[in-house]
Structure 1
């Protein structure tokens, strides 16, 4: 590809020459509170994407999954999600310490619309609500408390275009590499086979969820 032929957009004015301004209704759709509709969606969402960034703007998006109802709505302006065992990199949590701005996308299986929530996060190591974050007898050691500043629904177009919920469009998983294969190649692991890595990863996934 000849990148000299790539035409970039560098100003908002250039951007608006391509995409017109939205209607006022689109600007007005966000609210600064967790209303009854948002509460219902959050209660049915087992999967959340958490976006953070560090002080220099480097971004990270982390998938968060728990049984539906595990994200707690504390009041009209605050919600909390538990931090479960992971790889100990703590990318999201370290980012929050330096830059509390977060974005979240709540997904409900079979629902094409998503709930977008933006706000300021605080890391919490203990609180009375930790008992309500317990899953399978395991109480989290950390949680992310979010003061909601902006909340709105995202339309269905992305899910409709991707046909995400239609199993007949899904690839055959056997045609894709396993995580063990990817890890071996990315990390140049020589002392373990792909099968051994896959088994170790599967064992960790089975026994270290909570």
Structure 2
């Protein structure tokens, strides 16, 4: 029991039982429906990074009940997550389906695979959501140590998927607003 559990209480048996070391069929269906993932990593010094990854449903591939393949598409070329994985293979994922408050959380260990390694291992990684700049750079093979569904409370509290909130934000503080703010602050 950790300090927070000692202070506030331990999780129920039902909560602990949902944590598994493999993806059951329901979790596998959720993964196949996922279009957005947050990848969390840290380096040997504990410096952290959280990186969004997205694509059409199916972009996260299930290799077997304990292994996922997360493709890396061309982006900002910072590669902070990959630099972290070089010194610390432990990763965390939160898999999301737009409009669904439930998520799936994964904790595991990642290996970076370049195109040649993918081909040698007979793994087909494909770009599912394509635009003019998109290309497959590499992929992560993630061995699952823990996987479990997570409740929708944070999404309900935040109104993240609430259509009225989304429309209001688009009109007042959508992408254009924030891009303008960042450009102004950089000058």
Q: TM-score range by the shorter chain?
A: 0.7 to 0.9
Alpha-carbon contact 1:133-1:139 (below 8 Å) kept = no
Are positions 1:172 and 2:161 aligned together? no
Query: Structure 1, residues 95-129: CA drift from partner, whole Å, max 9, x if none?
Result: 11111000000101121110001100000002145
What does 1:1-210 correspond to in 2, within 5 Å?
A: 12-13=2-3, 15-16=4-5, 18-126=7-115, 127-128=118-119, 131-135=124-128, 136=130, 140-170=136-166, 171-176=168-173, 177-185=177-185, 187-188=186-187
- Cα deviation code 1:159-182 (max 9, x no counterpart): 122222111123333433331431
Q: Distance in 1 between matches of 2:71 and 2:147?
A: 20
Secondary structure of 1:40 counterpart = helix
2:95 partner SS: strand
Equivalent residues, number = 175
| C-alpha distance in structure 2 between counterparts of 1:93 and 1:178, whole Å | 27
Q: In 2, distance between residues paired with 1:181 and 1:93?
A: 29
Q: Compare the two structures and name the one with the higher strand fraction.
A: 2
Structure 1 stretches of 4+ moved >6 Å: none
Between 1 and 2, higher relative CO (CA 8 Å, sep ≥ 6) is seen in 2
Q: Which runs of 5+ in 2 are unaligned?
A: none
Q: Please list every run of 5 or more consecutive structure 1 residues that lacks an aligned counterpart in the other structure.
A: 1-11, 189-210
SS at match of 1:159: helix
CA contact (8 A) 1:121 1:146 kept: yes
TM-score normalised over the length of structure 1: 0.76
